[in-house]
Amino acid sequence: EAQVTQNPRYLITVTGKKLTVTCSQNMNHEYMSWYRQDPGLGLRQIYYSMNVEVTDKGDVPEGYKVSRKEKRNFPLILESPSPNQTSLYFCASSLGTGPYNEQFFGPGTRLTVL
Amino acid sequence: AQTVTQSQPEMSVQEAETVTLSCTYDTSESDYYLFWYKQPPSRQMILVIRQEAYKQQNATENRFSVNFQKAAKSFSLKISDSQLGDAAMYFCAYRSVDSGYALNFGKGTSLLVTP
């Protein structure tokens, strides 16, 4: 089944404790992206990657890191999480970078930073 | 940066009736795509419908259709014969090459469907 998977789905952590949220897609998609969703703000892009070893900042990159060592994986790293990073996180992928390419979303990761 | 505005935080519709969700956007680009996504309580983001700016014909997908007014930069979603399963948060989104390949989302409209 074609899908985008994220792990973990739920995470409660404390300020300053490094964490990684994994994202994997099995559709051989070139483009991958991370969004965060906050009440009343919609979804905002954190980082994106157009291909292996090619990443760039989105609208809200502060406090996050990403890597793209393999085409299928695009982990999101919070090296020193803070309470303002409490949010719902979505990974998405699409076949290419053209605007006509549908973005497929993962199921979301609910992160709480105490 | 492009902005997407959904002016209705909440809407309500009775089962079997029709409802229209509003969306406006601001852009100087001529080539772009517009999307409506549905987010049910499961939180999964589901693509409902999409429209290419160059196409004058409004997109339709079963009970879902759009009214795309390019000059007015308006992109509304009409849901006909509403069903209980349509209850969800609906997001309007914009994407173009110049938007950094990102989907720029509106803040969403929460749709309640009453029996």
- Count, residues in chain B: 115
| pLDDT (average), residues A11-40 | 96
| pLDDT (average), residues B65-69 | 96
Alpha helix positions (H), chain A: none
Residue B100: the pLDDT is 62
Residue B68: the pLDDT is 96
Residue B102: the pLDDT is 78
Interface residues from chain A to B (CB-CB < 8 Å) = 31, 33, 35, 40-45, 48, 50, 56, 58-59, 88, 90, 92, 97-100, 102-103, 105, 107-108
Residue B1: the pLDDT is 60
Q: How far is A5 from chain B (nearest CA, A)?
A: 12
Does A99 contact B107 at a Cβ distance shorter than 8 Å?
Answer: no
Query: Percent of chain B, pLDDT > 90?
Result: 79
B30 contacts chain A (CB < 8 A): no
CB A105 within 8 A of CB A91: yes
Task: Pull the structure tokens for residue A53.
Answer: 């070893």
Does B50 contact A58 at a Cβ distance shorter than 8 Å?
Answer: no
CB B109 within 8 A of CB B89: yes
Give the largest Cα separation in chain A, rounded: 40
Whole-angstrom Cα distance, residue B36 to residue B90?
7
Q: Is residue B2 predicted with pLDDT exceeding 80?
A: no
Whole-angstrom Cα distance, residue B24 to residue B16?
26
**Mean pLDDT, chain B, as a whole number?**
93
Q: Which of A98, A100, A103 lies at the smallest CB-CB distance from B103?
A: A103
Residue A93: the pLDDT is 95
CB A42 within 8 A of CB A36: no
Residue A57: the pLDDT is 92
Q: How far is A7 from chain B (nearest CA, A)?
A: 15
Q: Which of B31, B33, B45 lies at the smallest CB-CB distance from A105?
A: B45
Task: Pull the structure tokens for residue A14.
Answer: 């404390």
Q: How far is B114 from chain A (nearest CA, A)?
A: 23
Residues from chain B contacting residue A103 (CB–CB below 8 Å): 47, 103
DSSP bridge partners of A55: A49
Residues from chain A contacting residue B31 (CB–CB below 8 Å): 99
Q: What is the pLDDT of residues B72-114, one digit of tens each?
A: 999 999 999 999 999 999 999 998 877 667 789 999 999 999 9
Whole-angstrom Cα distance, residue B89 to residue B94?
17
Q: What is the pLDDT of residues A47-105, one digit of tens each?
A: 999 999 999 999 999 999 999 999 999 999 999 999 999 999 999 999 987 777 888 99
Residue B56: the pLDDT is 86
Q: Is residue A9 predicted with pLDDT exceeding 70?
A: yes
B55 contacts chain A (CB < 8 A): no
CB A6 within 8 A of CB A21: yes
